[in-house]
């Protein structure tokens, strides 16, 4: 299946910027939702990248963004959260809640390809809140297969 258009959630970050450049070089259109469009100047300049100000935690907005895309890539990650067990609220929101929203939106939009970036050594019993929350997000995505 040819990939013509890909939605990259978390596309304005370090990995996302590099991925967007690689996709554009392969003549693939890229849609990158962002909270602050003005902070994504390096991507706005790419001709095949559509930067759209959107709330990725709004499932209806994600479904609209997925219209006509061949695949979704989730690169969202946060490095810090308030301490809590098994992980803090920022980790839960970005690494657990968001993958659930993305999976649901993919199903509603009919998108069958989802690439979810997790973390090395993510596990439910990992030594850090970050890795435990990444493992919970992985489990959601894997269960959706």
Beta strands 114-116 and 71-74, pairing class? parallel
Global pTM? 0.92
pLDDT tens by residue, the chain, 145 residues: 789 999 999 998 889 999 999 999 999 999 999 887 666 666 766 678 889 999 999 999 999 999 999 999 999 999 888 888 788 999 999 999 999 999 999 999 999 999 999 999 999 999 999 999 999 999 999 999 8
- Distance, in Å, from the CA atom of 79 to the CA atom of 106, rounded to the nearest integer, reads 26
Q: Are 69 and 11 in contact (CB under 8 A)?
A: no
Residue 67 has a pLDDT of 97
């Amino acid at each position: 299946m040819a990939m013509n258009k890909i939605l990259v959630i978390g596309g304005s970050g370090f990995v996302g910027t590099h991925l967007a450049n690689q996709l554009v070089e392969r003549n693939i259109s890229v849609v990158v939702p962002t909270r602050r469009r003005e902070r994504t100047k390096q991507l706005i300049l790419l001709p095949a990248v559509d930067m759209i100000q959107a709330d990725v935690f709004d499932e209806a907005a994600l479904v609209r963004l997925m219209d006509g895309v061949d695949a979704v890539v989730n690169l969202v990650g946060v490095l810090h959260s308030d301490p809590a067990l098994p992980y803090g609220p920022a980790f839960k929101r970005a690494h657990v809640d968001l993958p659930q929203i993305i999976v649901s939106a993919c199903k509603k939009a009919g998108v069958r390809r989802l690439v979810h970036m997790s973390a090395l050594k993510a596990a439910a019993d990992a030594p850090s809140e970050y890795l435990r929350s990444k493992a919970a997000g992985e489990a959601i995505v894997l269960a959706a297969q």
